[in-house]
Amino acid sequence: MVAEWTSQAGVGRHRAASYVAPLGGPEGFSTKLQAEVRSRLKRHGGQVAVIGDGAEWIGRMAERDYPNAAHIVDWYHVVQHLHQATQARFDASPRIISA
């Protein structure tokens, strides 16, 4: 999704969105996304932020194509990754603690 936001009195508001979802791998996605981002920036200006799920290919694409953008992992996936890391670090089986 490519979205436009406005800010008034410190409050951000969603203005418009378009979606990019080509068939194929990451390179096809990157090409289509770049075209849409260029079109939006040409018409409206603004800044770029890349929001993803934490997948390595999205991070590599963001670093390559949008090095000056903010790179953000969405909340759902942050919690999912944190849960997986916690399970890997600590034994997830229930325990009975007696005093």
What single string gives the DSSP state of each residue in 8-55? ETTEEEEEEEE----SSSHHHHHHHHHHHHHHHHHHH----EEEE-S-
| Dmax (CA) of the chain | 67
- Tokens 């969405």 locate to 74
**Residue 92: pLDDT over 80:** no
Give the pLDDT mean for 13-38: 82
- % the chain with pLDDT above 70: 80
Sequence-separated (6 or more) residues with CB below 8 Å from residue 70: 47, 48, 49, 50
pLDDT at 66: 92
**Residue 1: pLDDT over 80:** no
- Binned at pLDDT 50, 70 and 90, residue 63 comes out as very high
